[in-house]
Amino acid sequence: MKRQIEQFSICIQYVDEELIVIREDFVAFVPVHDVTGLGLATVLQNTLIELGLDLDKLYGQGYDGAATISGNFRGVQAIVKKSHPKALYTHCVSHSLNLC
């Protein structure tokens, strides 16, 4: 019997100061066991810290529109923004186009 593992992918967008260009890179697939907003936000932030990223430089978040992610009170974006107020949430443009 094959067990299904929930996971999400992390991509980061940043300024490459050497080349002076904006880059976007895939970072990791992360397994998750708690798919609540708090569980996902905790795994996301811990993963970014483990990768050596300074979360004080987090200026944006982009996700799909699932309630667990986009919720204004208990969604991932709200939990991350509470700790890092400069990390504004933007609904993923690709997902928005699919909804049209």
pLDDT score recorded for residue 5: 86
pLDDT score recorded for residue 3: 77
Contact 47, 12 (CB under 8 A): no
| pLDDT less than 50: residues of the chain | none
Q: Provide the 8-state DSSP code for 33.
A: S
pLDDT score recorded for residue 67: 84
pLDDT score recorded for residue 75: 94
How far apart are alpha carbons 20 and 96 in whole angstroms?
29
